[in-house]
Chain A
Amino acid sequence: MKKAVATTIRLASLFGLVCLTAIGANAQTSSVRMTRAANAFLETLDAGQRQSVTFAIDDEQQRKRWSNLPVRSVPRAGLSLGALNTTQRAAAMALVSAALSAKGLQKVNEIMEGDEVLKTGAASRGNPAMFGKDFYYISILGTPSESSPWILQFGGHHLALNITVAGDKGTLTPSLTAAQPGLYTFNGKQVRPLAGESDKAAALFNSLDAQQRSQAILGSRVADLVLGPGEDGRTIQPEGLKASAMTERQRAQLLDVITEWAGIIHDDAAAARMAEVRAGLAETWFAWSGPASATPGTNIASYYRIQGPNLVIEYAPQGNDPTMHIHAMYRDPTNDYGRKYTAK
C-alpha cells in the first residue's frame, strides 16, 4: 500500500514537472519565436541590406526616426517592404507577425491597407508615390537574441511600432497607430482600423453619469496629440476623471479600451503589461473632449486621453472630417524604447 502511494506521488510530481516545463517553455516561446523570425529574415538579406536594416541598440537617432507623417516628409531608415523581394518580404512580415498578437497584426494590416486606399486616391490626383504598403519600413536595433534586449521597428505613414524584446519581457512603447481613411471598404466589407479604440471609448464615456462626465470632459478643443512624435520622455499633468471614481464595470471598460493598444504586442508581453496597468488603475485618468457619440459604424470625432502612472494613451481625430483621420499615441513614460530593460 505504502509503495503504491509513493509511486503515485512520484508519478504525479513527474507529471507536474513535465507540465511546468512545458508551460515554462511556452512562456519563452514568444521571444524565442521573434528572435528566430528576426534571424530568418536577416538571413534572406545580402550583406549590404543587412547593414542598412540593423542599428546599434542605443542609436538614439534611429530610435526616434518615426512619425505619423509620410516617408517623403520624414524619411525612415531600414529597408522598405517595396525594396524587398517576395521571400524577403514574407520573412519581414513573419517577423512582424511574431512580434504582434493576432489582433495586433490585423490592426497593422488594416492600417497599411488604408494607406493603399489613400494611394489610389492620391494617384488619381497625379501625386508622386508616397503612400501604400511598399513604403513601410522595417529595422532592427541591437542583435536579435533570446536573452539580451533588442528592438524591432516597423512603420511608415500613420504607423510606428517600436517593440523592445528582452528575454521574456517586452514592450511596445512608444508606438503610434493612426488611420486615414478611418473607414474604407475592402473586399466588400467596411473596415475601420481603429474601430475598437473608437467604439469602446465611446461606450465608456456614455456609461458615465452626469457627475463623472463633468469631471471627464476637458472644456477645450484638443486639436492634436499632446505627446506625439518628438515628445519622448515627457509627462503631462493628468486631467479628467479618475478611475477610482468609476464603477467596477466602468473600470473594466477602461481596461478594455487600454487593451486595444496594450494588446497589439504578442500575448505574453500583453498579459504582463495589462497586469501592470491594472495595478496602477486607481491612479489612471480618463479625459474626453468633443461630442459624446458617433453614428454606429463610424468613428467618434472626439479626442480622449487615458493617463496612468506608467501609461499615456491619446486618441486624436484630425482635420476637416475628424472621423476619417485619426492619430493615436501609446506611451509609457517610464519605459520609452524598453528603457527599463536596456537601462539606457
Chain B
Amino acid sequence: MKLAVATVAILVALAAPASAHALDEYLQAVLIGVEKDHVSVSMRLVPGVAVLPDVLRGMDRNRDGKVSASERQDYPRLLLSDLHLSLNGEPLPLQLISADIPHPEQLQDGLGQMRIELRADFPSGTGQRRLVLRNRHQSQIAAYLVNSLAVDDPDIRLLAQQRNPDQSFYQLDYMQAAGAAGALKADWSGFGRMFRLGMHHIAEGSDHLLFLLTLLLPAPLLARQSRWNGIAGISGSLLRIVGVVTAFTLGHSATLALAGLGMLHVPGNPVEVLIAVSILFSAAHALYPIVPGREAGIAGFFGLIHGLAFANLLDQLSLGRWERVTGLLGFNLGIEVVQLVVIAAILPSLLLLSRTRAYGWLRIGGALFAAIAALGWIAERLLALETPVDRVVGAVAAQAPFLAGSLFLISMIWWGLARGAYPSPTNGIRKAEDSLDR
C-alpha cells in the first residue's frame, strides 16, 4: 500500500508543475440553491496534485492500495457523512442525486474534478429560516468554498450569509413568504411586514431573549459581600427591571438604527460570537454579582451588540431610503412588543419567587442553563463545532408559554406558602428602599 502511494506520489510530482490547481489543497466548492421545499447542494471537488494521494487513500476503504469502481461509487456517501446540514436547528438529511467521480488516473492527469449533486427536502412553510452547512471532509487538506445561488423564486428572499474564516461553517438566513410577496413596497404594508419580521426574529432569536432573561434573574436581589443574599423591595426591583429592559432597548435600537441606515456595519460572525459572550457574562453575573447595581449599564452595552445582529438581517434586504426608515421602525417595534410580552410573562414570577427561598434554585439553575448554552454557541460560532445547543434551546423555547405559566403557578404557590408558614424573607434582612444601593 505504502509503495503504491509512494509511486503515485512520485508520478504525480513528475507530472506537474501543474499550474492547474493549488497543489497542496483539496478544493471543495459548494453551491447552494434554495427552493420552497428543498435545497440543492452542488459540490465540485478538485484535489490538488500534491494531496491527491491523501484523497485517494481516503477513498480506498479496504486499504488495498487501489481505488476500485465500487469504492469510487461509495465515495459520495463517505463525503456525505462529513457534511452536516440543518434548517432552523433541525438536521436535514442530504440525499445523493448524482455523482461524477473520474477514474483515479484522470484525477492524476489534472482532469481532477469530481461533481456531486445532493438534495435535502423540508416541509414548505413560511417565515424566517436559517440554513447551516458544516463540512469537515478531509479538513487537514481542505479548502472549502460555500456560496448560495441567487434565487429566482420571488417568495424567497436571501437575507444574510455568514461563514467562519475557512468556510467549514456556513450560515444562510432567508425569508420564505407565503406567495405573491414581491418586494417590500415603500408604504405602510412594508411596515407591517417588517413588524412581523421583527417579532419573528426575536421570537426565534432565543439567544437575545436568553440574554435578557438571564440578566433579569438577579434584578430583584441585592448584593452583599460578593454574593446575592438580599432582596430589594418591590419598587426597587421593578425599577431595576424596567431599567434593564429600557437600557437594552435603547442599546439595540441605537445600533439597529445606525446599522440599518447604513451608517455602521460589523461583520456577522464576530457579532454572533459576542452575543454568546454577553449571555455568558449575564449568566456569570447571575451566579455572583460581578457588576451589582449596574445591570442596566450592562444591558445597554450589550444591547448595542444585539442591535448589530438585528441589523445584519436588514443589511441585505436592499431597502430604499424610505423603506429603510419605516422598515426599521416596524422591525424594532416588533422586537419590543415580543420583548414586553416575554417580560410581562416572567415578571410576576420573578417578583413573587424572589421573596422565597426557592429563588436560589431558579437563579442558579437558569444561570447554569444560560452559561452552558452560551459556551455551546461560542464553540459553534467561533470554532465551527457542532453542538446540540440550538436544538435544546429551541425545544425549551417551544415550551415557553407552558413553562412561563408553570413558573407563575409555582411562584404563586410557593410565595403563598412561604408567607403563611415562614417568616417573611425580608425579616431580619435589611430592606432596601432604592435599587441604587450599590
CA distance A99 to B29 in the complex (A): 34
Asked whether A224 lies within 8 Å of B17 as measured between CB atoms, the reply is: no
Instruction: Tell me if A198 is interfacial: C-beta within 8 Å of chain B.
Output: no
CA distance A180 to B16 in the complex (A): 14
CA distance A92 to B118 in the complex (A): 44
CA distance A318 to B27 in the complex (A): 11
Instruction: Tell me if B267 is interfacial: C-beta within 8 Å of chain A.
Output: yes
List residues of chain B with CB within 8 A of the CB of A69: 20, 110-111
For residue A327, which residue of chain B has the nearest CB?
A: B19
B149 CB contact (under 8 Å) in A221, A222, A234, A318: A234
The SS class assigned to the B binding surface is: loop
CA distance A122 to B268 in the complex (A): 45
Give 24 CB contacts A-B under 8 Å: A72-B109, A125-B14, A126-B14, A127-B17, A157-B19, A214-B265, A214-B266, A220-B167, A221-B165, A221-B166, A223-B22, A224-B143, A224-B145, A226-B31, A226-B147, A234-B149, A235-B149, A235-B150, A236-B31, A237-B151, A237-B158, A237-B161, A320-B22, A320-B23
Binding site for A on B (CB under 8 A): 14-15, 17-25, 27, 29, 31, 44, 46, 109-111, 113, 143-145, 147-151, 158, 161-167, 262-270
State how many angstroms separate the Cβ of B64 from the closest Cβ of chain A.
28
Contact A236 to B265, CB < 8 A, known contacts A223-B25, A320-B24: no
Number of A residues near B (Cβ < 8 Å) is 40
Binding site for B on A (CB under 8 A): 68-70, 72-74, 118, 121-122, 125-127, 157-158, 180, 211, 214-215, 217-224, 226, 230-231, 234-239, 245, 318-320, 325
For residue A126, which residue of chain B has the nearest CB?
A: B14
Q: 8 more A-B contacts (CB under 8 A) besides A219-B268, A223-B143?
A: A73-B109, A125-B17, A211-B263, A219-B162, A223-B27, A224-B143, A318-B22, A320-B24
State how many angstroms separate the Cβ of A244 from the closest Cβ of chain B.
9
CA distance A129 to B349 in the complex (A): 81
CA distance A237 to B161 in the complex (A): 9
Asked whether B17 lies within 8 Å of A219 as measured between CB atoms, the reply is: no
Asked whether B22 lies within 8 Å of A319 as measured between CB atoms, the reply is: yes
State how many angstroms separate the Cβ of B39 from the closest Cβ of chain A.
14
List residues of chain A with CB within 8 A of the CB of B24: 320
For residue A289, which residue of chain B has the nearest CB?
A: B165
CA distance A121 to B16 in the complex (A): 11
Asked whether B19 lies within 8 Å of A226 as measured between CB atoms, the reply is: no
B150 CB contact (under 8 Å) in A211, A218, A236: A236
For residue A211, which residue of chain B has the nearest CB?
A: B265
Asked whether B145 lies within 8 Å of A226 as measured between CB atoms, the reply is: yes
B19 CB contact (under 8 Å) in A219, A234, A238, A325: A325
Asked whether A223 lies within 8 Å of B31 as measured between CB atoms, the reply is: no
State how many angstroms separate the Cβ of A229 from the closest Cβ of chain B.
9
CA distance A234 to B30 in the complex (A): 13
Asked whether A219 lies within 8 Å of B110 as measured between CB atoms, the reply is: no
CA distance A133 to B15 in the complex (A): 20
CA distance A222 to B113 in the complex (A): 18
CA distance A215 to B267 in the complex (A): 7
CA distance A125 to B266 in the complex (A): 49
List residues of chain B with CB within 8 A of the CB of A237: 147-151, 158, 161
Asked whether B267 lies within 8 Å of A222 as measured between CB atoms, the reply is: no
CA distance A122 to B14 in the complex (A): 10
Asked whether B265 lies within 8 Å of A220 as measured between CB atoms, the reply is: no
List residues of chain A with CB within 8 A of the CB of B110: 69-70, 72-73
State how many angstroms separate the Cβ of B24 from the closest Cβ of chain A.
7
State how many angstroms separate the Cβ of B30 from the closest Cβ of chain A.
10
List residues of chain B with CB within 8 A of the CB of A222: 145
For residue B150, which residue of chain A has the nearest CB?
A: A235
State how many angstroms separate the Cβ of B183 from the closest Cβ of chain A.
13
State how many angstroms separate the Cβ of B155 from the closest Cβ of chain A.
16
Question: Interface centre among B18, B24, B166, by most A CB within 10 Å?
Answer: B18
CA distance A224 to B147 in the complex (A): 12
State how many angstroms separate the Cβ of B156 from the closest Cβ of chain A.
11
List residues of chain A with CB within 8 A of the CB of B109: 72-73
Asked whether B23 lies within 8 Å of A223 as measured between CB atoms, the reply is: no
Contact A239 to B161, CB < 8 A, known contacts A70-B19, A245-B262: yes
CA distance A218 to B269 in the complex (A): 11
State how many angstroms separate the Cβ of B402 from the closest Cβ of chain A.
39
List residues of chain B with CB within 8 A of the CB of A68: 20
Contact A220 to B31, CB < 8 A, known contacts A127-B15, A234-B149, A237-B150: no
Asked whether B161 lies within 8 Å of A121 as measured between CB atoms, the reply is: no
For residue B170, which residue of chain A has the nearest CB?
A: A220
State how many angstroms separate the Cβ of B276 from the closest Cβ of chain A.
17
Asked whether B165 lies within 8 Å of A219 as measured between CB atoms, the reply is: yes
Question: Interface centre among A73, A222, A230, A234, by most B CB within 10 Å?
Answer: A73
B113 CB contact (under 8 Å) in A70, A118, A218, A230: A230
List residues of chain A with CB within 8 A of the CB of B147: 226, 236-237
